[in-house]
Structure 1
Amino acid sequence: MEKQPKKKYALVTGGSRGIGRAICIQLAKDSGYSILINYNHNEAAALETLKEVENAGTKGEILKFDVANAESVQKTFDGWFQKNENAVIEVVINNAGINKDGLFVWMKSEDWNSVLNTSLNGFYNVTNYLMQQMLVNKYGRIINMVSVSGLKGTAGQVNYSAAKGAVVGATKALAQEIAKRNITVNAVAPGFINSDMTAGLDEKELKKMIPVNRFGEAEEVAHLVSFLASKNASYITGEVININGGIYS
């Protein structure tokens, strides 16, 4: 009996809103993958993203789990692969992240731990599980959403800067381990992008620091991620690509 071709998927963690949503929609338009939209709390927003993915002419589904919870990640994927035996997740976008800003001297341990658990342990929990299949198939794209804060550090964001800086280091190390298996690992470091995370910031004042004199749009980040997820980016690995209007490079 002829073997059925595997059904190919791209996963976006934290895909329900903001940059994550824009990435889901762009991948739906560009890639030919079915899109797995991970969310943790906001099911309504995840369903809205799914609707937009389907409007782009692509299949998708929502997956509820907390990236910081290793047991939840494993249980969700074990169950999903049982139902989808012929599936392969070729692209992983580690986008889920939270911020709990405040001066370090007054930072509570839960604000430190929750930010690191989501960005850093979330990267481990999701990538370590899904990488096994990529290694067998000898193909994959891992893209980690980091931040200008993880590269230059931002006052009031010691926890967020630490988490994203750690993922930068992990990106560069993992890229070297698995490059021979045709799996690339890159990071994308946005600056000020219009989203829920920047909604409370004084754009008028902050844009004076930005050479292009404006905040970026989530769609601009999504185009870059979509390229890195494609076969056209096969010779780019271990890189951290800034997308910040020239504020830091």
Structure 2
Amino acid sequence: MRVDILSLFPEMFEGVLGSSILKKAADKHLFSYNIINFREFTKDKHNKVDDYPYGGGAGMVLKPQPIFDAIDSIEIKENVKPRIILLCPQGETLTQKKSEELAKEEHLIFICGHYEGYDERIRTELVTDEISIGDYVLTGGELGAMVIMDSVIRLLPGVLGNDHSATEDSFSTGLLEHPHYTRPAEYRGMKVPDVLVSGNHQHIEQWRRKESLKRTFLRRPDLLENYELSEEEKKWIEHWKDESSS
């Protein structure tokens, strides 16, 4: 995968892309990235990337010309149509499903804005996806781009030490992840559940499935609205409902 990032503050990405999983993935050439400061594409002597909005109003709006020219400068492989992602509070909220969808692409381009907003022609003529990481407003799109990149790149084959890790994450199965334990088996009087040290993998798998469903039922019941429950799982939920009402 190739990732191009349009940003007025390229230095913000140094820590994220230069450490941990993303650095290892880049070092192994599992993805490559290029950060473009679109201020370098301005054509006036003051290098202005923004201007006052037509019709008046508060704040400044990013001009189309630097963004369009920056996109035009990107080398795009033949027969590859990049996904051009606009970081925007008006966009669809990022989900695991969206990250899985983007992880199948060969080329992603992120546009990180600042100020009051974008000239609408950027949105309508360039962008394939508008994404928000939540119902709040940040000072710029850089942090949102980092979040999306992390959630997508970790799904690429070979990035995580165990390829099953990503498929068993919270939200990947439709449920929250089950509890985890490690050594020691007892710490300050708190013991690891007996089933996890039993060596019975069938019982362990059932325990994990049940705990995953229970955690989802208690913390994020909204996720169960589109989750197809087995008859056994329905009985578990009815039991937990009875417990909570008693």
What is the TM-score with the length of structure 2 in the denominator? 0.33
Q: Which has the larger radius of gyration?
A: 2
The structure with the largest helix share of the pair is 1
